[in-house]
Amino acid sequence: MNRILLLDPDPYHAAAVVGALRGIPCKAIVVPDLRNAIQLMRVQVVECVVVVSHPKSDWQIQVDAIRLVARDQPDPPDTICLLRGPYQGPTDRVYAARKGFVLLHE
């Protein structure tokens, strides 16, 4: 069973995302902040990290920190950034493509 680390500061939204993941064989581990996500990644193996953020927040900093920790692992997890809010053009997707992670708009 794959483990998915979900970094989401909104507990209601996190519950909705976990509910949407019930259709696939995985275990979702929800953490509310970056510090807890990094600590967990250092002691547990996860196959995917989903960072949920608002477009106007510092989501790039969060994703870069997650990817820095992931890079030190033997089998780095995939990273997905789920932006909540309106689509604001292709700039964010180009940034994600250059950095090697997936960016989705909710």
Residue 62 burial (C-beta neighbours within 10 Å; 0-12, 13-18, 19+): buried
DSSP SS3 for 2: strand
Distance, C-alpha 16 to centroid of its chain: 15
Instruction: Report which of residues 89 and 81 the model is more confident about.
Output: 81
For each of the domains in the chain, give its residue range(s) and CATH number, in order of start: 2-92 (3.40.50.2300)
pLDDT of residue 91: 86
If you compute the radius of gyration of the chain from its CA atoms, what whole number of angstroms results? Answer: 13
42/51 Cα distance (integer angstroms): 17
Q: Say what percent of the chain tops pLDDT 70.
A: 99
Residue 18 has pLDDT above 80, yes or no: yes
> What is the CA angle 47-43-83, rounded to 5?
45
26/4 Cα distance (integer angstroms): 7
DSSP-derived letter for residue 47 is: S
Element spanning 93, H or E: helix 91-99
